[in-house]
């Protein structure tokens, strides 16, 4: 019966899709699942299975039931962990305890931002708070810590542990240490109080960093007021308007949006003070030293060395880029030709478009969402022997009817896990592209089976219509590949412990798999398998792909230098306290690491929301890109569909999650240990022009 239903659905899909053009009349099941609106359910009596198949979550009240059950299980496992003899069983119990809480907390963390029903969001938020409170108590539970310490303090027992178990035990101990478990009771209470205070400060800063600023309507020239939102007698500015062709609109937006808010400034500076105080309290030189433990970089000194060296190697190219932008500004506006910070994003875009003609609308017809998903499916099949299979979700399993469910299936290993694709815009949905772990993979001793990972990918795409499928710009397509890199990191890992599953690894390593996917998304040998015009079936010309790739290098040094500035600012903010304001520090870092002048009465740092989730780790994007570049050039550039390299990549880098030291994984893949100089050279060489593109353009 199920097979008949599937056949009928596919038949309807093909008939509907034949309207789009003469030649494109069929899609694979995974392509059809994303190119056509799903059929509404007809069986209203079908029993609901609950969100993600969790029966309790058929209603908002179910979150309380699931939370209560998880907390009862926590009490049982807590007693077991404290009572069992030191050994592998101790670590297994810790991981089982962590898994029980994470399965509710991670799911709730997603639902509280993504579910369209406020009742579900509110119930999920309560679960997050309740479980978060319990986790804080566990991290300061002396008896629980003692059971782990007894294990790690015994050389005989540690020697018998396999490397993964030992690393996971050490990571759990690190969680205890940063919570102040080793302190006396008075100082431990102070550490807990600082943790609680930081939760509030993080939330306050994150909310404030996205709030619009406003100014009296009379202060803005009347002919420019229409570019901004109105609020009575005020103009509201909620962003930088970086893409506006009008110099004055960009300048007004920059000055108003970045105008300092005294309360938010105090919040940020108290946040930085409290982070330093907590780091010192638990034994670290600074918050940066605490945050970088276990990363590829390891120390703030290494990060600053990386950023300084990269700045020096880029200096000539950066100066040329700023000169190009300055000349373009003179050309567009001879009366006001000084290059300012609000000009950089717009002018670099103008230069790219003028030089390479990369108007997104020229590319979008070739990048239907379903076609891109077929391309990803083909890539994963070639590299890993993995297929993406569209599955019909059950009643109540997803939070919105346009969410698609994919099973990830290996040709010999079978089902690896599930990816829920929440790709389409809807009212009140966050406009962000991101990956959520809902359930981590782990080996379950009780069942003798592997707990399959479950993730969600969230994008912000227009839904398909009756006339056309969802068409992606090159940037959207690249973001899709990027986020799918995170998902496959979760799917292809087979860690014994969920504490280190998939993307639960060092931040400066976690972005490597996703950034590496951007290289596949830019290679014609990959793109040619799926990029076809949705109406005519014509393939995307190779010259257009080449132009797109070369366009990314235009002003690339200046773009990278801007990221270096942000990363350096983040490091200094999280170093030793300085007897000056965060704005004074910003002014110095902007002059040293960027070059364009600081604008008086602005405070860009108050919009630097990454300070919350990426505190002292913003450099991770640059370092991950350097590693991804090296992996691409050495292992995939010659043949992006090479199965042997795909298997090696899975074996050396994806399979371990966070169970192996990140630099050892990189070393295993590259078969040598890269240096900071290697990372810098990789990023700089990416900006070298490809002369084949110029030849191709001249021939066409």
Catalytic residues: 483
How many C-beta neighbours within 10 Å does residue 292 have? 27
List Cβ neighbours of 24 (8 Å cut-off, separation of 6 or more): 17, 532, 534, 535, 536, 537
Q: Which pair of structure tokens corresponds to residue 567?
A: 């990363």
Q: Is the dihedral of CA 168, 443, 373, 43 positive or negative?
A: negative
Q: Which pair of structure tokens corresponds to residue 386?
A: 């993995």
Q: Is the dihedral of CA 140, 146, 151, 152 positive or negative?
A: positive
**Cβ distance 653 to 599 under 8 Å?**
no
**Cβ distance 657 to 510 under 8 Å?**
no
Q: Which of 257, 291, 132 is nearest to 203 (CA)?
A: 132
List Cβ neighbours of 428 (8 Å cut-off, separation of 6 or more): 116
Element (H, E) at 152: helix 142-152
Give CA–CA dist 229/227, Å, rounded: 7
Give CA–CA dist 33/621, Å, rounded: 32
Element (H, E) at 644: helix 643-649
SS3 of residue 624 by DSSP: helix
How many C-beta neighbours within 10 Å does residue 10 have? 17
CA 647-649-654 angle, to 5 degrees, is: 110
CA 546-632-683 angle, to 5 degrees, is: 80
Q: Which of 315, 274, 285, 312 is nearest to 611 (CA)?
A: 274
């Amino acid at each position: 019966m199920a097979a008949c239903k599937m056949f009928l659905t596919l038949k309807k899909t093909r008939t509907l899709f034949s309207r789009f053009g003469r030649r494109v009349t069929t899609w694979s099941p995974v392509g059809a699942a994303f190119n056509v609106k799903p059929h509404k359910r007809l069986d209203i009596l079908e029993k609901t299975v609950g969100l993600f198949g969790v029966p309790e979550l058929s209603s908002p009240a179910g979150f309380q039931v699931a939370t209560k059950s998880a907390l009862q299980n926590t009490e049982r496992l807590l007693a077991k962990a404290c009572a069992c003899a030191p050994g592998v069983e101790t670590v297994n119990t810790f991981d089982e305890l962590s898994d029980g809480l994470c399965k509710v907390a991670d799911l709730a963390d997603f639902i509280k931002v993504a579910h369209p029903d406020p009742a579900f969001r509110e119930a999920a938020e309560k679960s997050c708070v309740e479980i978060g409170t319990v986790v804080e108590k566990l991290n300061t539970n002396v008896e629980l810590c003692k059971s782990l310490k007894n294990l790690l303090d015994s050389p005989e027992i540690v020697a018998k542990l396999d490397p993964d178990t030992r690393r996971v035990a050490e990571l759990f101990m690190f969680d205890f240490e940063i919570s102040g478990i080793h302190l006396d009771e008075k100082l431990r209470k102070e550490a807990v109080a600082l943790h609680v205070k930081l939760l509030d400060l993080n939330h306050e800063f994150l909310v404030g960093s996205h709030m619009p600023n406003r100014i009296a309507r009379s202060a803005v020239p009347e002919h420019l007021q229409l570019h901004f939102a109105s609020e009575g007698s005020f103009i509201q500015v909620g962003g930088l308007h970086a893409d506006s062709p009008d110099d004055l609109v960009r300048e007004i937006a920059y000055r108003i949006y970045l105008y300092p808010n005294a309360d938010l400034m105090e919040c940020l500076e108290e946040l930085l003070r409290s982070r330093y105080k907590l780091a010192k309290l638990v034994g670290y030189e600074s918050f940066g030293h605490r945050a970088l433990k276990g990363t590829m970089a390891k120390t703030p000194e290494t990060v600053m060395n990386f950023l300084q060296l990269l700045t020096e190697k880029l200096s000539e190219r950066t100066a040329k880029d700023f000169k190009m932008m300055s000349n373009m500004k003179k050309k567009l506006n001879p009366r006001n030709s000084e290059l300012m910070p609000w000009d950089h994003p717009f002018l670099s875009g103008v230069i790219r478009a003028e030089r390479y003609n990369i108007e997104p609308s020229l590319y979008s017809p070739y990048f239907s969402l379903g076609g891109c998903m077929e391309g990803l499916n083909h890539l994963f099949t070639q590299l890993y022997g993995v297929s993406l299979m569209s599955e019909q979700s059950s009643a109540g399993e997803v939070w919105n009817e346009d969410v698609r469910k994919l099973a990830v299936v290996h040709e010999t290993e079978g089902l690896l896990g599930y990816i829920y694709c929440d790709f389409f815009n809807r009212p009140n949905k966050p406009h962000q592209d991101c990956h959520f772990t809902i359930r981590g993979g782990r080996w379950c001793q009780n069942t003798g089976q592997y707990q399959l990972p479950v993730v969600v990918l969230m994008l912000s795409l227009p839904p398909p219509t009756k006339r056309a499928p969802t068409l992606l710009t090159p940037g959207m397509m690249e973001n899709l590949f990027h986020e799918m890199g995170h998902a496959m990191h979760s799917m292809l890992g087979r860690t014994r412990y969920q504490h280190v599953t998939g993307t639960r690894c060092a931040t400066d390593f976690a972005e490597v798999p996703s950034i590496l996917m951007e290289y596949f998304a830019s290679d014609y040998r990959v793109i040619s398998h799926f990029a076809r015009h949705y109406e005519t079936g014509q393939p995307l010309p190779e010259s257009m792909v080449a132009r797109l790739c070369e366009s990314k290098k235009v002003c690339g040094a200046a773009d990278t230098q801007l990221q270096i500035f942000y990363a350096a600012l983040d490091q200094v903010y999280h170093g030793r306290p300085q007897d000056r304001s965060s704005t004074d520090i910003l002014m110095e870092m902007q002059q040293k690491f960027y070059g364009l002048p600081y604008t008086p009465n602005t405070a860009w740092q108050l919009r630097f929301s990454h300070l919350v989730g990426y505190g002292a780790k913003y450099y991770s994007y640059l370092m991950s890109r350097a590693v991804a570049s090296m992996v691409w050039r050495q292992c995939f550039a010659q043949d992006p569909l090479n199965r042997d390299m795909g298997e090696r990549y899975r074996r050396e880098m994806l399979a371990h999650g966070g169970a192996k030291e990140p630099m050892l994984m990189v070393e295993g893949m590259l078969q040598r240990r890269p240096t900071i100089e290697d990372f810098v050279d990789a990023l700089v060489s990416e900006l070298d022009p490809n002369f084949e593109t110029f030849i191709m353009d001249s021939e066409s």
